[in-house]
């Protein structure tokens, strides 16, 4: 995970009237002024006063022995010391911080001028003085102290002293924050300059001084005691804050002062410096990184980081914790610098989640992995995931102008959108050091949903200068609450938007004469595409499918699959099957691999939303009763979406499986060809398995459209591609995930083939696919093919039937011989698919050329046994199967190798003609041109689609797609589609 840089708003720009000039002359003037201050003894004088403060405050806070006079003296000295230190150091440190921008040219002079203020003794004095001031402020708030004041009958009571003490603490905190900014800036510069080389001694000393002085802890403790009267209070301060009640501290129109801003910015800078030192070279860098990690992980600092995060949630209009509501309607902050609040929120994320993420990942050395204060009973990983989700939502809300009573202006929201890189800290690492629990993943998915939404809306705001849409209120707790939050986050819509933006930008970047802006956008969005599959996988594996509306994502993925399948087919037709040609976004097969994986995850979510088709394992009947929640013809919009999705997925799966397999053959890939990524293999296997599951479900689906839609998936080509993949796919190193995915595809292939063989209208066709024989042989045996009469009447159909004969025989044999296959009970070497082949060859009861009816009857018997065996039953082998699995002679290894190579190089079977009812999509809004590359808008529904004037069964996004489709086949099928549309309306499928 890349790190976003700290948002730097120079302190001199915040405090008007500072050192505003730049350039060598200005730098020389500043250095001369700093030298004069040092010669006059300013740092030494401040140091003596800071050291002198601790004794009177200790006397004033001594339990059971303090006096009224001691308290008054301590308050007066505290106020005097704080103001004098602030007066002397404010401009001094501002000048040094401003000069850090010219560190490369003035490093020696800056080191000399800064040395008195970053020395261990000076930082320790600031730390002790700040801690002492916090002690005094807390002491004045104790009930016992206030009661004692009342007994003294003093001229002025604890309220006056508390206010003076609070002002002094605010000044000390500002001074500590400026010192921390100076230290963090110096450390970051030194760490960056050192790189992989040795670390300068000044950096090691500074890191050790920050650790030993505990300045970070003192600053954090003082802020949590009281951040000053000009800042929104941090949750958790409660009665510990000085200066009165919440209502009195937060008033409309108050300015946002930079005290907490400076400390938060310092935390973010030190986090970056610690991470850079941790990966730096030399022996000193790890020690310095460890020292910084210790300082950053102090319990007081952890408490401040949690307070900052809770404040961010509150400012976004969210509750700080389950069941607690926060009213932010009274907040009305007039910010001195309009960018400052945005920068502060940016640095808050870096200093809180960014620090924890890097500590947990081992990118910096810190005790307890720099975690936040633990929640009772919540594992650290789950607490981090929950905090990331809430923070991502808060940032998204702020970017939409919500929270803080709308204090974020349009300009600030645009500024936030330009810095959305820091949103990465609310996303999980791709390869986590600690395995994620099942409880964590839904929260990371929620965080990702908000990040995607914020990033995409930010791009729109930056490009079009438009307002962002609003959101809904948060909900809490339980699985139902998590589902509600995921719905509200709009992950499905955000993923659809992100995919379309990535696809359109990739296409524009690949076009001739592409603008640099388009190439940069495609480069930025490209790495995010694999996240789509990850985010789609979470709900399917955690029972949260109801949280996602994946219809838009499914439509966009299917449309891209259709387009990419056409491109792969074009490459294969050119004589270069498996070539890794360049496509938008990367190599062809790699791009198709992640798309196939995303299709597989989406398929698991698609069916729970639309219903209508049974799973393949539910019964072996070929024609069950219609499902009660779906029209008998499967014409619901969900049914059309599923049909379109799997037809497009099948097209990509067939060509991807064949090309991936061909890449491994000697003929298609040279000896120097790099191996394909596992994602490509697994993506091809996953989408093939999902398509087989869909085809199996269609075999048992009711209605007249199901057989036509089944043929539209080209099942024989799916089988051919899967067999090629079985021949070539050898999981690297026995990778369990690859082995599991390959086994899933094998099982899906076997059961689908059995269901097709048992199908009343497809059984004879399956037999033709598996046996190389002409119609004359069947006719000579006196067999009446169920489709023969119709085929003889039409010469074109007769040619198609002839081309089908034996189109799968070689591939089927080699695919299953290449592995153990789907084993049967009894440990037989032969697989059930091989038994199906023998049935097709006529080796079953009834002789070699038994009727197709006998083939189907035997296939039904084997299918029934297979379903029961797959379901965990201990069914004995039926006599038919025992007959088919008798021994058969083998081949030599050289013959087997030649046969396998021939199978890999064999062409895919020709396409089947599909009845128009299988392709008609009368309700689904999608461009009907398979090569449509229009991905504008946030969804396909955002395109202006118009129906074909002839058939009224196909829609187009524009005249270009309509003309292209007309010339590539719709001219021929338009009349047939119109007739099919009429038949579907007459049968009640379409109103």
Q: How far apart are CA 909 and CA 620, in angstroms?
A: 27
Of 243, 268, 297, the domain-final residue:
297
Report the candidate in 909, 902, 713 with the shortest Cα–Cα distance to residue 815: 902
pLDDT at 822: 41
pLDDT band at 576 (very low <50, low <70, confident <90, very high): low
Asked if the structure places residue 114 within a domain, the reply is no
pLDDT at 379: 93
Asked if the structure places residue 972 within a domain, the reply is yes
List of residues 6+ apart from 667 with CB closer than 8 A: 901, 904, 905
In 3-state terms, what secondary structure has residue 255?
Answer: strand
pLDDT band at 301 (very low <50, low <70, confident <90, very high): very high
Where residue 735 falls (left for φ over 0; alpha for ψ -120 to 50; beta otherwise) is beta
pLDDT at 906: 83
What would the DSSP string read from start to end of 627-674?
Answer: PTTS-TT--SHHHHHHHHHHHHHHHHHHHHHHHHHHHTSTTTS-TTPP
H helices then E strands: how many in the chain?
41, 4
Express each pLDDT in 78-94 by its tens digit.
999 999 999 889 888 88
Say if CB 696 and CB 748 are below 8 A apart.
yes
Bigger pLDDT: 969 vs 318: 969
Q: b/e map of 593-613 (b: 16 or more CB within 10 Å)?
A: bbbbbbbbbbbbbbbebbebb
pLDDT at 832: 72
Q: Which two tokens stand for residue 462?
A: 């930056």
pLDDT at 596: 84
Q: How far apart are CA 86 and CA 79, in angstroms?
A: 11
Q: How far apart are CA 600 and CA 606, in angstroms?
A: 10
pLDDT band at 849 (very low <50, low <70, confident <90, very high): very low
Q: Where is average pLDDT lowest: 294-298, 571-575, 743-747, 846-850?
A: 846-850
How would you class 247 by CB atoms within 10 Å of its CB: exposed for 0-12, middle for 13-18, buried for 19 or more? exposed
pLDDT band at 368 (very low <50, low <70, confident <90, very high): very high
Q: Which two tokens stand for residue 170?
A: 């605010």
pLDDT at 533: 66
Quick one: CA dihedral 263, 268, 269, 271, positive or negative?
Answer: positive
For residue 454, what are the β-bridge partners?
A: none
What would the DSSP string read from start to end of 704-752?
Answer: SHHHHHHHHT-HHHHHHHHHHHHHH---GGG-HHHHHHHHHHHHHHHHH
Share of the chain above pLDDT 90, in %: 17
Say if CB 326 and CB 254 are below 8 A apart.
no
> Can you give the C-alpha Rg of the chain in angstroms?
36
Q: How far apart are CA 585 and CA 525, in angstroms?
A: 9
List of residues 6+ apart from 582 with CB closer than 8 A: 510, 588
Backbone angles phi, psi at 438, to 5 degrees: -65, -25
Express each pLDDT in 245-294 by its tens digit.
333 333 333 334 456 778 888 888 888 888 888 887 677 888 988 999 99
Asked if the structure places residue 844 within a domain, the reply is no
Residue the block writes with tokens 């497009």: 648
Element containing residue 551 per DSSP (H, E): helix 551-573
Express each pLDDT in 627-642 by its tens digit.
333 333 333 444 888 8
Q: Which long-range contacts (CB under 8 A, 24 or more apart) does 881-885 make?
A: 881/824, 881/832, 881/835, 883/843, 883/844, 883/845, 884/830, 884/834, 884/835, 884/838, 884/839, 884/843, 884/844, 885/824, 885/828, 885/830, 885/834, 885/835
Say if CB 214 and CB 120 are below 8 A apart.
no
Say if CB 116 and CB 38 are below 8 A apart.
yes
In 3-state terms, what secondary structure has residue 331?
Answer: coil
What would the DSSP string read from start to end of 782-798?
Answer: T---TTHHHHHH-HHHH
Of 272, 297, 322, the domain-final residue:
297
Bigger pLDDT: 127 vs 704: 127
Q: Is the pLDDT of residue 989 over 50?
A: yes
Tell me how many degrees the CA angle 173-177-181 measures, rounded to the nearest 5: 175
List of residues 6+ apart from 896 with CB closer than 8 A: 817
When mean pLDDT is compared over 135-144, 776-785, 886-895, the highest value belongs to 135-144
Bigger pLDDT: 944 vs 717: 717
Count structural domains, the chain.
2
Q: Distances from the Cα of 704 to the Cαs of 429, 631, 707, 914, in angstroms?
A: 49, 11, 7, 13
Asked if the structure places residue 267 within a domain, the reply is yes
Q: How far apart are CA 78 and CA 100, in angstroms?
A: 31
Residue 962: domain span? 925-987
Backbone angles phi, psi at 255, to 5 degrees: -80, 155
In 3-state terms, what secondary structure has residue 456?
Answer: helix
In 3-state terms, what secondary structure has residue 244?
Answer: coil
Q: Is the pLDDT of residue 847 over 70?
A: no
Q: How far apart are CA 277 and CA 295, in angstroms?
A: 14
pLDDT at 883: 64
pLDDT at 874: 59
> Residues for the chain: how many in total?
991
pLDDT band at 372 (very low <50, low <70, confident <90, very high): very high
Q: How far apart are CA 722 and CA 729, in angstroms?
A: 10
Report the candidate in 697, 657, 705, 682 with the shortest Cα–Cα distance to residue 903: 657
Bigger pLDDT: 304 vs 793: 304
Asked if the structure places residue 980 within a domain, the reply is yes
Q: Please name the residue ranges forming H helices in 842-943.
A: 852-870, 879-884, 893-905
Share of the chain above pLDDT 70, in %: 68
For residue 690, what are the β-bridge partners?
A: none
Q: How far apart are CA 157 and CA 886, in angstroms?
A: 103
For residue 583, what are the β-bridge partners?
A: 586
Q: Is the pLDDT of residue 919 over 90?
A: no
What would the DSSP string read from start to end of 294-312?
Answer: HHHT-HHHHHHHHHHHHHH
pLDDT band at 882 (very low <50, low <70, confident <90, very high): low
Q: Distances from the Cα of 324 to the Cαs of 319, 321, 327, 474, 871, in angstroms?
A: 6, 6, 10, 11, 49
Asked if the structure places residue 264 within a domain, the reply is yes
Express each pLDDT in 594-606 by its tens digit.
788 888 888 887 7
Of 239, 269, 297, the domain-final residue:
297
pLDDT at 863: 83
pLDDT at 385: 92
pLDDT at 1: 36
Asked if the structure places residue 954 within a domain, the reply is yes
Asked if the structure places residue 280 within a domain, the reply is yes
Say if CB 387 and CB 313 are below 8 A apart.
no
């Amino acid at each position: 995970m890349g790190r976003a840089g700290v948002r730097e708003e120079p302190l001199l720009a915040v405090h008007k009237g500072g050192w505003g000039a730049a350039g060598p002359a200005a730098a020389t003037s500043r250095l001369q002024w700093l030298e004069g201050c040092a010669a006059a003894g300013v740092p030494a004088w401040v140091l003596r006063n800071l050291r002198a403060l601790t004794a009177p405050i200790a006397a004033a806070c001594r339990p059971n022995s303090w006096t009224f006079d001691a308290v008054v003296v301590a308050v007066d000295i505290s106020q005097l010391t704080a103001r004098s230190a602030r007066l002397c150091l404010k401009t001094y440190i501002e000048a040094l911080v401003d000069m850090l921008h010219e560190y490369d040219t003035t490093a020696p002079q800056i080191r000399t001028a800064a040395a008195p203020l970053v020395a261990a003794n000076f930082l320790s004095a600031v730390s002790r003085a700040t801690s002492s001031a916090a002690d005094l402020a807390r002491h004045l708030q104790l009930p016992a102290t206030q009661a004692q004041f009342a007994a003294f009958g003093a001229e002025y009571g604890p309220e006056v002293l508390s206010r003076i003490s609070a002002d002094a603490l605010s000044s000390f905190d500002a001074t500590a924050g400026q010192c921390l900014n100076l230290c963090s800036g110096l450390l970051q510069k030194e760490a960056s300059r050192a790189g992989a080389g040795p670390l300068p001694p000044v950096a090691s000393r500074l890191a050790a001084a920050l650790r030993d002085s505990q300045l970070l802890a003192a600053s954090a403790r003082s802020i949590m005691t009281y951040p000053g009267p000009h800042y929104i209070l941090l949750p958790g301060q409660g009665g510990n804050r000085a200066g009165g009640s919440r209502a009195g501290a937060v008033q409309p129109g108050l300015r946002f002062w930079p005290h907490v801003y400076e400390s938060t910015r310092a935390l973010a800078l030190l986090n970056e410096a610690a991470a850079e030192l941790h990966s730096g070279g030399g022996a000193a860098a790890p020690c310095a990184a460890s020292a910084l990690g210790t300082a950053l992980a102090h319990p007081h600092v952890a408490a401040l980081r949690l307070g900052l995060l809770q404040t961010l949630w509150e400012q976004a209009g969210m509750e700080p914790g389950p069941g607690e509501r926060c009213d932010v309607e009274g907040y009305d902050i007039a910010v001195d610098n309009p960018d400052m609040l945005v920068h502060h929120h940016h640095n808050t994320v870096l200093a809180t989640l960014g620090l924890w993420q890097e500590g947990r990942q081992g990118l910096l050395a810190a005790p307890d992995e720099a975690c936040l204060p633990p929640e009772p009973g919540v594992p650290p990983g789950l607490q981090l995931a929950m905090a990331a989700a809430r923070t991502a939502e808060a940032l998204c809300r702020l970017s939409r102008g919500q929270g803080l009573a709308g204090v974020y202006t349009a300009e600030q929201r645009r500024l936030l959108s330009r810095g959305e890189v820091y949103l990465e800290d609310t996303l999980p690492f791709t390869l986590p050091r600690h395995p994620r629990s099942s409880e964590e993943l839904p929260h990371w998915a929620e965080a990702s949903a908000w990040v995607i939404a914020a990033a995409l809306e930010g791009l729109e705001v930056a490009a079009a200068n438009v307002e962002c849409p609003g959101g809904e209120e948060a909900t809490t707790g339980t699985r139902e609450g998590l589902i509600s939050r995921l719905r509200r986050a709009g992950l499905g819509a955000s993923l659809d938007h992100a995919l379309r933006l990535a696809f359109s930008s990739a296409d524009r970047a690949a076009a001739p004469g592409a603008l640099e802006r388009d190439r940069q956008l495609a480069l930025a969005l490209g790495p995010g595409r694999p996240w789509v599959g990850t985010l789609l996988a979470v709900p399917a594996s955690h029972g949260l499918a109801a949280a996602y509306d994946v219809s838009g994502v499914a439509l966009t993925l299917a449309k891209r699959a259709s387009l990419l399948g056409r491109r792969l087919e074009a490459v294969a037709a050119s004589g270069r099957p498996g070539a890794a040609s360049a496509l938008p976004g990367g190599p062809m097969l790699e791009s198709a691999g992640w798309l196939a994986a995303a299709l597989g995850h989406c398929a698991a979510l698609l069916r729970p939303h639309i219903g209508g088709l049974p799973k393949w394992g539910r019964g072996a009947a070929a024609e069950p009763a219609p499902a009660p929640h779906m029209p008998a013809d499967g014409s619901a919009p969900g049914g059309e979406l599923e049909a379109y999705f799997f037809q497009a997925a099948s097209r990509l799966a067939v060509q991807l499986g064949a090309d991936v397999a061909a890449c491994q053959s000697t003929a298609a890939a040279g000896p120097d060809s790099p191996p394909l990524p596992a994602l490509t293999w697994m993506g091809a296997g996953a989408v093939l398995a999902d398509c087989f599951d869909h085809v199996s479900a269609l075999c048992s689906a009711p209605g007249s459209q199901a057989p036509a839609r089944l043929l539209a998936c080209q099942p024989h080509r799916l089988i051919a591609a899967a067999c090629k993949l079985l021949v070539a796919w050898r999981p690297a190193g026995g990778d369990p995930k690859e082995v599991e995915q390959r086994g899933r595809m094998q099982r899906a292939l076997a059961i689908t083939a059995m269901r097709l063989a048992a199908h009343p209208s497809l059984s004879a066709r399956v037999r033709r696919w598996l046996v190389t024989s002409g119609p004359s042989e069947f006719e000579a045996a006196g067999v009446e093919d169920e489709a023969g009469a119709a085929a003889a009447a039409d010469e074109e159909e007769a040619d198609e039937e002839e081309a089908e004969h034996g189109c799968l025989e070689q591939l089927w044999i080699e695919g299953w011989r290449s592995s153990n296959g789907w084993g049967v009970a009894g440990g037989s070497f032969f697989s059930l698919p091989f038994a199906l082949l023998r049935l097709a060859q006529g080796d079953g009861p009834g002789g070699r050329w038994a009727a197709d009816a006998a083939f189907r009857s035997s296939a039904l018997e084997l299918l029934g046994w297979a379903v029961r065996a797959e379901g965990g039953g201990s069914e004995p082998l039926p006599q038919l199967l025992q007959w088919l699995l008798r021994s058969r002679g083998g081949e030599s290894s050289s013959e087997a190798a030649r046969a396998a190579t021939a199978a890999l190089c064999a062409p895919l079977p020709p396409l089947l003609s599909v009845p128009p009812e299988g392709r008609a999509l009368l309700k689904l809004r999608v461009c009907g041109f398979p090569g449509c590359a229009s991905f504008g808008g946030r969804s396909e529904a955002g395109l202006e689609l118009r129906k074909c004037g002839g058939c009224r069964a196909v829609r187009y996004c524009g005249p270009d797609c309509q003309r292209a489709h007309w010339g590539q086949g719709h001219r021929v099928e338009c009349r047939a589609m119109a007739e099919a549309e009429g038949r579907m309306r007459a049968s009640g499928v379409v109103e």
